[in-house]
Amino acid sequence: MKAFLKNYSQSPRKVRLVADLIRGKDVQHARAILSFMDKKSAPDLKKLLESALANAENQKKNTEDLVVKEIFVDSAGGALRRWRPRAFGRAAPFRRHSSKITLQLGEKQ
């Protein structure tokens, strides 16, 4: 019962703040947390959680006693390099980071 979100266009550092809040929680509690959170990544993580739940239903698992067993956020390889204008006609580089999120559900013990 895994679900993946690849090439998510937000830095891993910001996504980890939300992912840390739902790690180890049961599915209903995690869904409630993500519904009322005021972060950009919360709706996408909620959609990922519901995708993992749908995968569990396809495997004929009982979805009542599932918990977020594992969730981790990695950088998705490289970063998109862009340039920003600076003083005296110069240019400075900056990077737009992207994330790869992996969520795994497990049963309560």
The CA-atom distances, in angstroms, between 84 and each of 13, 36, 78, 87, 92 are 22, 35, 19, 10, 5
Quick: pLDDT tens for 43-87: 999 999 999 999 999 999 888 889 999 999 999 877 899 999 999
Q: What is the pLDDT of residue 109?
A: 80
The CA-atom distances, in angstroms, between 92 and each of 23, 78, 85, 98, 99 are 38, 18, 6, 20, 23
Q: How far apart are CA 87 and CA 85, in angstroms?
A: 7
Quick: pLDDT tens for 16-53: 999 999 999 999 999 999 999 999 999 999 999 999 99
In CATH, what is the architecture of 2-107?
Alpha-Beta Complex (3.90)
pLDDT higher than threshold 80 for residue 94: yes
